[in-house]
Structure 1
Amino acid sequence: MMDVLIVGAGPTGLTLGIDLARRGVDALVVERAQELFPGSRGKGIQPRTQEVFEDLGVLDAIRAAGGPYPVRMLWKDGERLGERPMFEPVAADEGTPYTEPWMVAQWRTQEILHARLLELGGRVAFGGEVTGLEQDSEGVGVRFADGTAVRARYVVAADGGRSAVRRAVGVGMTGETVDPSPFLVADVRVRGLDREYWHAFPGADGTGVMLCPLAGTDDFQFSGKLPEGTEPEPSLDGVRELVAAYTHLDAEDVTELRWASDFRPRAALADRFRVGRVFLAGDAAHVHSPAGGQGLNTGVQDAYNLGWKLGAVLRGGAPEALLDTYEEERRPNAAAMLGLSTGVHRGEVRRGKATVQLGLGYPASSLSEERRAAPAGVRAGDRAPDGVVDGVRLFDAFRGPHWTLLGSTTTAAGVRSLPAAPASYGPGIFLVRPDGYVAWAGDTTTGLDACLARVGRR
């Protein structure tokens, strides 16, 4: 019996596979399709996700594969109306080295994550369609369409908004339609447009199309909002017709279609993120409007939260109750991100400080313990900022599956100690979780051992 079966080889499933592989957990990623997803859909890598990818050893490849977002250029009747910035600027400082989203086509992000997983000895099995499962007190049996079956101690559903695993465990989703209009998104080759701008061609009735040069490729991502009641045609002819109708380009200027999909934006949240030994993550747990670039990133955060907890229970001697904190922490967080995505889609929230995910944390979590008499600066539950202590960059110190103690020493296994925290943290001693959040903060070490014991470090 394997430790963990991850269903779905999207960014969420691959991220979780990487995190488990570096912890020595026996995990298999299984994907219904015969290959990795071929489209650009989730193309925005938010700053907090860049920090996660740095820890997992893929950020250099991610940065090399993409580029910054271009400025939006508005058009009307074949004339340029002027530039419109896509994002409000976020100031960089020592604690936040990445402040801008990085554009990488989703297919390329998945290739990079897949290569890293294989490098760490992980596995992906393609062509495995889940048809049912049963669980008991020891594990979960999963059946596939080809008649085979496997058994794992835990199963993670990372198989998208139409998750077969979520349906198999009877978890519903509560949500709303974000926009009644149909949308079409596609990866195309286009001639006659420069690649300096994200070109927007709004219609008079609230519809319109955009053509965004995909960094690191020769493609453009086409996105179109169509009139209510129409049916998008995800084909070369369908895209050509819309480009000819909304822009100054001719239909033949769209020379190639590489991928296309139609959808109606909705926001939905799974009623539960855990049923026994089955966990929901990514789109299987929350479905976002693509506006604001929150969906893929929230899924990566799910995986990063769950990975260290599964590793602690399976390899670190932590109590099984630690896994309850996954839903406790991630479901409210996902709900907040859904509200944010919907707000961006409807023009109520600007892209910028609210969407980069650097302010996310778990201050209300049962794992967050603030024991200082007069806390200042960073608090328990907050993201642990970058900085330098004794010539050591904190993000370098945090990198890996261990915990980090700032301001004291400990003999606890799997905990790295540094003599102090940067001044930006405020006074105190800080215990940083493997996923880069402060678990415990105190004026002295009183209570630290008890905190470590709760997570299997004592």
Structure 2
Amino acid sequence: MPRSLELYHFLGLLPEMLERGRPLIPTRVYKLPGGNEVLKEFYLAELKESTPSTPLINIRSLGQDRLEKLLQEHLEKLGCPVEFKTTMTDFSQLEDHVEAQIVKSGIDQDITETVKCKWMIGADGAKGSIRKQLGLQFSGETRGVEQRFVSGDLEVKNLSDEYWHVWGDPMTILVSLRATETPGTFHLIMGGEIDHEKAVSDREELAKAVKAGTHREDLEIGEPTWLYETTPNIRMTEKFSKGRVFLVGDACHAHPFFGAQGSNSGVQDAFNLAWKLALVEKGLAGPSLLSSYTAERVPVIAEVLKRTTSIHDKTQFMRNDGSGLAAWGRDGPLKMLGINYRWSSIVLDERNPYMENCPQDPYGVEAGDMVRAGDRAPDAPGLVPIEGGETSLFKIFGPTRHAVLLFAGRDSAEEVVRVLGKIKEYPADAVRSVVIYPRGALPEVIDDADMVVFDSEQHAFVDYCCSDDDLTVVIVRPDGVVGASRYFRAVFSALSM
């Protein structure tokens, strides 16, 4: 989803993400019987032109296994290889650390080790053991067996890989084959009146079920790369941490896979937690900052579950006559650009304060035009550094530092100097100060700013709703979310001011 692409940009992964993935392809629904005549062709999400504030606006397709491979490669470049064939059997929390017992599978014998760490993050999936050992309830529901699906990647011949192909409906047999990034390989979703267990365990039964659903005897079904049977689970924990152990992704919330929000949500869990944990570990913030992880993410995930469940329910009403196809829609809020934390205790909005009695809007459906504290920070190209060249806000933001944006109006020179003086009291490796002047301004010489730029195209001043005359301070967190003035005192609580 576009919001996840932005986070990969901040991590330096975007070029390879774009290279290995592919744009969203059109979906074709076919008439039955026959299975060849197109009933309807459409895109799951409208393809849009990028804007200055949202340069990554369209969905990108990349298989989760390929994404994991990319992440592993980058971790290795940073000196942090992923250890496979390793199982955690138990862990215990002590006052100042966690001890985990792990078993590594060796060629001749298994090796048991004890790992001591200050913090532990459980990303071991919905069936993992860490949540269970923490004693956290996984509340929700598991749908009936009639709503089971078979999912996986497999080779298919005699089928165009320029489309996402759909036949049938859940009342009979639903077959969805989406062309992946690997030519000739398709991602399969299949449900309805089939023998799910046989389809997973027997390749001939799988091929038979696919052909029965598509009415296409000419399709050649090859070996699956991976294949599994799934029953929709709609569950989450009340909190995402306990003591020194945190949960991210499916370990603390399970979704129906319709909606493509699950793994995207897990990535955003991790991004929300990581910068906070880094500040605490560096001694720049107290451990109380970590409680904001649950406070910010739980309302978002609760909304995710509502939306993915609604989409899943709509799939049950799709019919072979083309009705009910709205279930395939992945536009609007599902792109996740409106996700926000306006209610959070560590953000402060002096221009448009959050009212406690207002209903939370975690997906920003009723967001309005003004960027508020807790919202995604928009991009702004056309920024010209005082020494020349060109940059953008997305090139300035990064996962290791807060960006303090001082929108310097024409009558704010003294205030700019005063604020920069306060910023200097914070560690240079944790904060980056950027003075932004409106187009045509004559700036004072400023030595204390890390960067001084001109907003040559006025995107920054307009999108952040700033005056050309007065000073506005906007603080952007390492996860690309807007804080506000006086926000530092709530975050860098370990520093004396």
Q: Do both share a fold (TM > 0.5)?
A: yes
Report the residue type matching 1:398 in the other structure. F
CA 1:449/1:326 → structure 2, altered by over 3 Å: closer, same or farther?
closer
Report the residue type matching 1:97 in the other structure. P
Partner residue of 1:416 out of 432, 435, 446: 432
1:246 aligns with 2:239: no
**Mapping 1:386-405, distance limit 5 Å:** 386-388=379-381, 389-390=383-384, 391-405=390-404
* Alpha-carbon RMSD: 2.3
Q: Distance in 2 between matches of 1:50 and 1:223?
A: 24
Indicate the SS of the match to 1:188.
Answer: strand
Partner residue of 2:99 out of 133, 136, 141: 141
- Displacement of 1:102 in angstroms is 0.6
Deviates more, 1:375-384 or 1:309-318: 375-384
Instruction: Structure 1: give runs of 5+ residues left out of the alignment.
Output: 1-45, 442-446
Q: TM-score, normalised by structure 1?
A: 0.84
Q: Distance in 2 between matches of 1:457 and 1:330?
A: 28
Q: Which has the larger radius of gyration?
A: 2
Corresponding position of 1:382: 375
Q: Distance in 1 between matches of 2:380 and 2:198?
A: 49
- Displacement of 1:108 in angstroms is 1.0
Corresponding position of 2:149: 183
- Displacement of 1:343 in angstroms is 1.6
Corresponding position of 1:302: 269
Q: Deviations over 1:140-190 (max 9, x none)?
A: 111124532211111110000011111111111011235642100121111
**Mapping 1:294-373, distance limit 5 Å:** 294-347=261-314, 350-372=329-351
Indicate the SS of the match to 1:211.
Answer: strand
Corresponding position of 2:451: none
Report the residue type matching 2:167 in the other structure. F
Indicate the SS of the match to 1:279.
Answer: strand
Q: Distance in 1 between matches of 2:170 and 2:350?
A: 57
Percent of residue pairs bearing the same amino acid type? 30
Corresponding position of 1:13: none
CA 1:382/1:373 → structure 2, altered by over 3 Å: closer, same or farther?
closer
Report the residue type matching 2:21 in the other structure. G
Corresponding position of 1:80: 38
CA 1:374/1:286 → structure 2, altered by over 3 Å: closer, same or farther?
closer
Deviates more, 1:165-174 or 1:211-220: 211-220
**Mapping 1:45-444, distance limit 5 Å:** 46-75=1-30, 76-78=32-34, 79-89=37-47, 92-145=50-103, 146-178=111-143, 180-203=146-169, 205=171, 207-227=173-193, 231=197, 233-234=199-200, 235-250=202-217, 253-347=220-314, 350-372=329-351, 377-388=370-381, 389-390=383-384, 391-407=390-406, 408=416, 409=420, 410-411=423-424, 412-413=426-427, 414-420=430-436, 421-427=460-466, 428-441=472-485
Instruction: Structure 2: give runs of 5+ residues left out of the alignment.
Output: 104-110, 315-325, 355-368, 385-389, 407-415, 437-459, 467-471
- Displacement of 1:328 in angstroms is 0.7
Corresponding position of 1:34: none
Does the CA contact (< 8 Å) of 1:128 and 1:144 recur in 2? Answer: yes
CA 1:160/1:336 → structure 2, altered by over 3 Å: closer, same or farther?
same
Corresponding position of 1:26: none
CA 1:373/1:192 → structure 2, altered by over 3 Å: closer, same or farther?
closer
Indicate the SS of the match to 2:263.
Answer: helix
- Displacement of 1:294 in angstroms is 0.4
Q: Deviations over 1:379-431 (max 9, x none)?
A: 11111000033342000000341110111532122211221343211122101
Question: Relative contact order (C-alpha < 8 Å, sep 6+): which is higher?
Answer: 1
Q: Distance in 2 between matches of 1:387 and 1:216?
A: 35
Does the CA contact (< 8 Å) of 1:233 and 1:239 recur in 2? Answer: yes
CA 1:228/1:333 → structure 2, altered by over 3 Å: closer, same or farther?
farther
- Displacement of 1:105 in angstroms is 1.2
Does the CA contact (< 8 Å) of 1:90 and 1:353 recur in 2? Answer: no
Q: Distance in 1 between matches of 2:26 and 2:463?
A: 33
Does the CA contact (< 8 Å) of 1:232 and 1:262 recur in 2? Answer: no
Does the CA contact (< 8 Å) of 2:28 and 2:163 recur in 1? Answer: yes
Does the CA contact (< 8 Å) of 2:170 and 2:191 recur in 1? Answer: no
- Displacement of 1:109 in angstroms is 0.6
Indicate the SS of the match to 2:28.
Answer: strand
Does the CA contact (< 8 Å) of 1:308 and 1:434 recur in 2? Answer: yes
CA 1:323/1:400 → structure 2, altered by over 3 Å: closer, same or farther?
closer
Q: Distance in 2 between matches of 1:384 and 1:91?
A: 19
